[in-house]
């Protein structure tokens, strides 16, 4: 035998020894059907146990889904209330916050941007830049800096309630006329 074959046989022998010591089975070499397992093994599949487990998993998933839905609606209500307050501070009707396209038009009026920018909000990729500019202008309209505007753009869920419920006052349109 050469050196490679010798090494291979040693590795295989070690693998067999390690593998047999890891298995949780004590079996005799003569009769493999007479094995004794070190953990409980059911001989039959129990559909009732499977159904009970599936029902419990389904109930847990339903509870988690209901919690997530309630959290989602709470965030939506918070953002609507914050936008309502922002509109009220700027002298615009608060109910405009819940009208889908009109709230963008009112937001453009508050910032001092032209109404035709609503069309730019419908163009993919362009709308990202336009929203950044609108949020920076909104922050400046309430006496905040560019950093706050970027915060409105990236983390509106946090910065919009700060703007709406905070002490900031509307100072007028920030966009150049």
Domain boundaries, given as residue ranges, for the chain? 3-37, 47-165
Q: Write the pLDDT tens digit of every residue in 84-110.
A: 999 999 999 999 999 999 999 999 999
pTM, two decimals, is 0.67
Q: Return the pLDDT at 108.
A: 95
Q: Write the pLDDT tens digit of every residue in 130-159.
A: 999 999 999 999 999 999 999 999 999 999
Q: Return the pLDDT at 174.
A: 83
DSSP codes joined into one string, the chain: --HHHHHHHHHHHHHHHHHHHHSSEE--SS-TTS-EESS---SS--HHHHHHHHHHHHHHHHHHHHHHHHHHHHHHHHHHHHHHHHHHHTTS-GGGGGSHHHHHHHHHHHHT--TTHHHHTTSTTHHHHHHHHHHHHHHHHTT--HHHHHHHHH-HHHHHHHHHHSS-------S--
């Amino acid at each position: 035998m050469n050196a490679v074959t010798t090494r291979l046989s040693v590795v295989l022998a070690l693998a067999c020894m390690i593998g047999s010591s890891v298995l949780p089975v004590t079996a005799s070499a003569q009769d493999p059907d007479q094995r004794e397992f070190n953990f409980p093994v059911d001989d039959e599949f129990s559909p009732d146990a499977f159904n009970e487990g599936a029902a419990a998993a389904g109930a847990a998933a339903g509870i988690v889904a209901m919690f997530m839905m309630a959290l989602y609606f709470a965030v939506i209500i918070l953002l609507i209330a914050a936008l309502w307050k922002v509109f009220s501070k700027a002298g615009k009707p608060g109910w405009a916050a819940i009208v889908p396209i009109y709230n963008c038009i009112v937001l453009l009026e508050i910032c001092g941007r032209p109404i035709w920018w609503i069309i730019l909000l419908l163009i993919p990729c362009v709308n990202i830049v336009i929203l950044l500019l609108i949020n920076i202008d909104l922050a400046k309209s309430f006496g905040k800096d560019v950093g706050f505007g970027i915060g409105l753009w990236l983390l509106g869920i946090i910065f919009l309630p700060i703007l709406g419920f905070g002490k900031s006052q509307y100072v007028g349109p920030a966009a150049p006329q």
